[in-house]
């Protein structure tokens, strides 16, 4: 898609959505990216790695020489496509379906990754759920719980299970959001979880400094992923990202290099407790 993209065609689909049903398809396969062994023989676990940002990150990691496990909910077709690209890059892959909003499955994902690859060098906590609402009073306790269990509890549960299998030099990258930095009146619960992810990142980075495990976050602006048509109205999807200074939403391929930067010690060995915010030209104070 060209940088001067126009509005997306109005569209919706059931959550969690699929890239194959999106028009246009997101650029999430890192087709133009050329790796240089920055992650040679590392083992990565990427939650939400079936599509969108997670797919681009998983493929980018593979192109840099890592074996990659992806965890996802139920988007089997998307997961198979991501696995195919990982294998085409000459690396091993593992796809694990199931609900990461439960502690038991979070532990199972880590156990299966370690059983296959023996360790975890890079952990990317990336899954997310949102449900736009116009008023706080419209957010049910059920929705609040689902958003928090998906967006922040899973980060805690997966990280807690993974840490015993991560050694000195390992890295953790958490997906936050512009909405965690400046809020969003129609995504109050989602924004609250993204703010929590930032605080979790800062605090965990401090806690793991002595272990020499780095912890950072990426906080993107609007990105064209299945989360958008599967949680927004057709009208909001049509106008998605056009309010940004660049006049468009990002593609996943444009966001994934931030994760590669944080994952590769040759690039970011002095970075921990930091946030990269690819937000399309919006500037924030502080």
- pLDDT confidence of residue 5: 57
- The tokens for 188 are 């109050």
Reported as half-sphere exposure (CB side, CA atoms, 13 A), residue 95 has a value of: 24
Residue 19 lies in a domain: no
Residue 245 lies in a domain: yes
Is 153 among the catalytic positions?
no
Name 247's bridge partners. Answer: none
- pLDDT confidence of residue 1: 37
Residue 179 lies in a domain: yes
Instruction: Quickly state the pLDDT bin for 284 (edges 50, 70, 90).
Output: confident
pLDDT, mean of residues 65-84: 97
In SS3 terms, 166-212 reads as: CCCCCEEEEECCHHHHHCCCCCHHHHHHHHHHHHHHHHHHHHCCCCC
Residue 248 lies in a domain: yes
| Whole-number average pLDDT of the chain | 96
pTM over 0.85: yes
Full residue range of the structural domain in which residue 214 is found: 35-276
CA 97 – CA 119 distance, rounded (Å):
20
Residue 20 lies in a domain: no
Question: Tens of pLDDT along 267-277?
Answer: 999 999 999 99
pLDDT, mean of residues 94-117: 98
Reported as half-sphere exposure (CB side, CA atoms, 13 A), residue 102 has a value of: 9
- pLDDT confidence of residue 286: 54
The angle formed by the CA atoms of residues 196, 225 and 54, to the nearest 5 degrees, is 65
pLDDT, mean of residues 189-215: 98
pLDDT, mean of residues 113-141: 97
Q: The domain spanning residue 247 has which CATH number?
A: 3.40.50.720
pLDDT, mean of residues 133-151: 97
**241 phi/psi in degrees, rounded to 5:** 85, -5
Q: Is the pLDDT of residue 4 over 80?
A: no
Residue 5 lies in a domain: no
Residue 156 lies in a domain: yes
Write the CA distances from 134 to 138, 146, 239, 244, integer angstroms: 7, 18, 17, 21
Number of structural domains, the chain? Answer: 1
Question: Tens of pLDDT along 210-256?
Answer: 999 999 999 999 999 999 999 999 999 999 999 999 999 999 999 99
- pLDDT confidence of residue 173: 99
- pLDDT confidence of residue 37: 98
Rg (CA), the chain: 17
Question: Would you tell me how many other CB atoms lie within 10 Å of the CB of residue 202?
Answer: 17
Catalytic hit among 72, 153, 190, 259: 190
- pLDDT confidence of residue 7: 82
CA 225 – CA 273 distance, rounded (Å):
26
Residue 285 lies in a domain: no
């Amino acid at each position: 898609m060209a940088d001067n993209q126009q509005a997306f065609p109005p569209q919706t689909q059931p959550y969690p959505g699929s890239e194959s049903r999106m028009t246009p398809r997101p650029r999430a396969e890192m087709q133009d990216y050329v790796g240089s062994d920055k992650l040679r023989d590392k083992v990565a676990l990427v939650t939400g790695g079936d599509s969108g940002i997670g797919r681009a990150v998983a493929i980018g990691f593979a192109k840099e020489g890592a074996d990659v496990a992806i965890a996802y909910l139920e988007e089997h077709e998307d997961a198979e496509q991501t696995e195919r690209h990982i294998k085409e890059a000459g690396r091993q892959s593992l796809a694990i379906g199931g609900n990461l909003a439960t502690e038991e499955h979070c532990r199972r994902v880590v156990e299966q990754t370690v059983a296959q690859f023996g360790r975890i060098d890079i952990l990317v906590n990336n899954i997310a759920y949102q449900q736009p609402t116009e008023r706080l009073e419209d957010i049910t306790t059920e929705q609040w719980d689902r958003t928090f269990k998906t967006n922040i509890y899973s980060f805690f549960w997966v990280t807690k299970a993974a840490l015993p299998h991560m050694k000195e030099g390992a890295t953790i990258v958490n997906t936050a959001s512009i909405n965690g930095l400046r809020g969003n009146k129609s995504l109050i619960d989602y924004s609250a979880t993204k703010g929590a992810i930032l605080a979790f990142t800062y605090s965990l980075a401090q806690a793991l400094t002595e272990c020499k495990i780095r912890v950072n976050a990426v906080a993107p602006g609007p990105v064209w992923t299945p989360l958008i048509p599967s949680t927004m109205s057709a009208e909001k999807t049509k106008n998605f990202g056009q309010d940004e200074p660049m006049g468009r939403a990002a593609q996943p391929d444009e966001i994934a290099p931030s994760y590669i930067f944080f994952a590769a010690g040759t690039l970011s060995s002095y970075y921990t407790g930091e946030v990269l915010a690819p937000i399309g030209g919006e500037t924030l104070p502080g």
